[in-house]
Structure 1
Amino acid sequence: MTDGRVGGPDDERRSGRDRATVVAAFAVVLHLALVVCAFGFVSLLADVDVVARAGTGALVGPAMIAAAVIVTGVALLRDARRPASRVRQRSWPVVVGVAVLLAYVLSGAALVALEEGAVFEGVAFAGSTLASAFPYLAGAIAAVVAVAYSAVADARPGAVPRWPWERDEQD
C-alpha cells in the first residue's frame, strides 16, 4: 500500500520548474503583445515610423521585433529551467532589457548591411535606430516583463479556497 503521497521532493522541484516554464512562455507572448501595442501607439501618436530609414525592406522591422522576442524568450526560459538552489540576481531584469535593446538594434543593422551590401549602411541604421524611442521601449518592456515573470514564477500557490460548508469539522 502507499502512504498517500503522490511524489517526493524531486517531483515538487520538477513541478516548480514546469510551472515556471509555462509562466515564461506566457510572459514571452505578453512581451510580444506589449511591444506591438506600444510601438503602434508611439508610432500613431508621434507620427513617426518604427523603421524611419527610407528604402529599408519590409521585413527589417518585424525581424527586429522577432529578435527582441527571441532574446526575451531565451532569457526567461533559461531562468525557468535554472536549479532552485541558484538565486536570481537583482539586476537580472536590467540585463534582460539591455540584451533585448542590443538584439533589436544589431539585428536591424545586420539586415540593413546585408540588404545594402555595405557595413557602413548597417552602422548608420544602428545609429538612427538608437536615436529613436523604439529600442528603448522594447528593452524597458522586456525588463518589466522579466520583473513580472519573476514575481509570478517565484510565487507559491496557496491552499484552494473552500466554502464554509466544504470545510472539515476539524479545521
Structure 2
Amino acid sequence: MTQPAGVAPPIAAFFATIGFAALAICGFGFTSLLTDTDVIAAPGLGQGAGIVAMLLSAVAFAGTEYGAVRRARFPSAGWVMIATVAAYLAGIVFGGVVTGADVALSVSAAGEFSLSWYALVLAVTSAVAAWAGIALRRTRARRPEWPWEHEEEDE
C-alpha cells in the first residue's frame, strides 16, 4: 500500500491537536453559556481538575491522532474520540485527587461530566478534529496557482 502524498504525519497531528484544544475550549464556553452550568460542577473540586483533565485529554488526543494520521484511515477518528474522552474523565479524577479533593468527589464529578452535554461536546470536537487531521494527511492538494503561471508550458 502506498502512503498518501499529503502533509507529513507529525505536522497533521500537530495542527489537529491545536484545532481540537481550541474547539473543545470554545465548545465548553458556549455550552456553559447556553446551559448556565459549570463544566465541572462539583463544589470543593476547584479548577485544577479541569486543567489537568484538558491537558491529559490533549496529550491523549495528540498520541492517538498521530497513529491515526499515520494510518490515514477515517474510522480511526472514532478511536481518537474514545481515547480523548476517557483521558478527560481520568484527568478529572487525577486532577481532583492531586489538588486535595476527596477521591469519591472526584469520581462523582467524572461521572456527572460523562452524562452531561460537555461530554458530547468533547466527543464531537475530538472526532471532528481527528477527521480533519486525517483528511489533511490524505489530501493530494497542491498550492494554489493562477491560470497564467504555466502558459509557457502549454505552448
TM-score range, shorter chain: 0.7 to 0.9
- Contact 2:45–2:106 (Cα < 8 Å) also in 1: no
SS in 2 for 1:161: coil
1:93 match: 77
Per chain length, whose mean CA-contact separation is higher, i.e. which structure has more relative contact order (CA < 8 Å, sep 6+)?
A: 2
Cα shift readout 1:7-38 (whole Å, capped 9, x = no counterpart): xxxxxx7x958633212211111111111111
Cα shift readout 1:31-69 (whole Å, capped 9, x = no counterpart): 111111110011011100011001112221121111111
The percent identity for this pair of structures is 25
2:129 match: 145
2:65 match: 76
Give, as a single letter, the amino acid of the residue that structure 2 aligns with 1:92.
S
- Contact 2:64–2:83 (Cα < 8 Å) also in 1: no
Give, as a single letter, the amino acid of the residue that structure 2 aligns with 1:37.
C
What runs of 5+ residues in structure 2 fail to find an aligned partner?
Answer: none
**TM-score (ref. length: structure 1):** 0.76
Rounded to whole Å, the distance in 2 between the matches of 1:165 and 1:118 is 66
User: Which one of 88, 101, 114 corresponds to residue 130 of structure 1?
Assistant: 114
User: Which one of 4, 23, 33 corresponds to residue 34 of structure 1?
Assistant: 23
Bigger radius of gyration among the two: 1
- Contact 1:105–1:135 (Cα < 8 Å) also in 2: no
SS in 1 for 2:59: helix
- Contact 1:68–1:138 (Cα < 8 Å) also in 2: no
Rounded to whole Å, the distance in 1 between the matches of 2:68 and 2:24 is 21
Rounded to whole Å, the distance in 1 between the matches of 2:64 and 2:35 is 31
Quick one: structure 1 residues 157 and 122, their matched pair in 2 at CA, closer, same or farther if it must change by over 3 Å?
A: same
1:5 match: none
- Contact 2:48–2:95 (Cα < 8 Å) also in 1: no
Deviation of the 1:118 alpha carbon: 4.3
What runs of 5+ residues in structure 1 fail to find an aligned partner?
Answer: 1-12
- 1 or 2, which has the higher helix percentage? 2
Q: How does 1:99-118 map to 2 (within 5 A)?
A: 99-116=83-100, 118=102
| Paired residue total | 153
1:21 match: 10
RMSD of Structure 2 on Structure 1 (CA):
2.6
